[in-house]
Amino acid sequence: MLKISELKEERSRTIYYVDEFGDRVRDVEEYITNYRIKTVKTAPRFGHFFVDSIFFQVLIISFQFLIGFFSLILDGIGISTIYIQYYGSLFLLLGYPLMYFICEFYWQQTPGKFLTGNVVIDEYGNKPNLKQIAARSIFRLIPFDALSCLGDDYSYGWHDRWSQTYVVPKEELLKIKQLQKEQMNNPV
């Protein structure tokens, strides 16, 4: 299987030359170059972050409600609630990377990516492995990681770069798969 970075595509460009009469002539030249992966742009990435943050807050509020409810029940029958509060606090610390890990491991999408029709893929266009998903989830904890997705047209943040993954629209994934299939059968 070809890596995404090894894919080629045919493009055309305008060239100018001077003909035998001294006139400037415009022509089109075909050439083969590396395929540029069209990752998700900056604005949708911000949308993913926003929707995922809201989803996480709803999870936290629900979890805190359950912790409070069980604390009241257990306190009423004389069981110490210190353990429940301890594990609840631990969940709050690990919940953010855990939410990303679970969503991207099982579905290749978080709630924000699901709404926009984007998926996480590895350098071969497949579902990322366990190590890559874990790395993505942990790297999100680095301060200002969300700002690393700002920049040029196609966003490629730190957590993408360091885990060797990409966030692409589903249409782009289909195009990548088609190019891989064509170039495996007929190398360029």
Tokens for 176, please give them. Answer: 């990548």
In the chain, domain spans: 4-34, 42-185
**pLDDT score recorded for residue 26:** 92
**Contact indicator for 105, 97 with CB cutoff of 8 Å:** no
Please give the C-alpha separations between residue 102 and each of 37, 78, 109, 116, in angstroms, as whole numbers: 26, 35, 9, 19
Burial of 115 (0-12, 13-18, 19+ CB in 10 A): middle
**pLDDT score recorded for residue 6:** 87
For 40, phi then psi, to 5°, come to -65, 140
Averaged over 159-176, what is the pLDDT?
93
Which of the four pLDDT bands, split at 50, 70 and 90, describes residue 152? Answer: low
User: Quick check: helix, strand or coil at residue 5?
Assistant: helix
**pLDDT score recorded for residue 84:** 67
**Contact indicator for 48, 112 with CB cutoff of 8 Å:** yes
* pLDDT tens-digit series, residues 61-78: 888 788 778 777 776 665
**Contact indicator for 128, 163 with CB cutoff of 8 Å:** yes
Which of the four pLDDT bands, split at 50, 70 and 90, describes residue 146? Answer: confident
DSSP state for residue 126 in the 8-state scheme: S
**Contact indicator for 155, 146 with CB cutoff of 8 Å:** no
Tokens for 67, please give them. Answer: 């912790």
Tokens for 4, please give them. Answer: 């995404």
Percent over 90 (pLDDT), the chain:
40
pLDDT score of 87 more than 80: no
* pLDDT tens-digit series, residues 105-119: 999 999 999 999 999
What is the value of pTM for the model shown?
Answer: 0.78
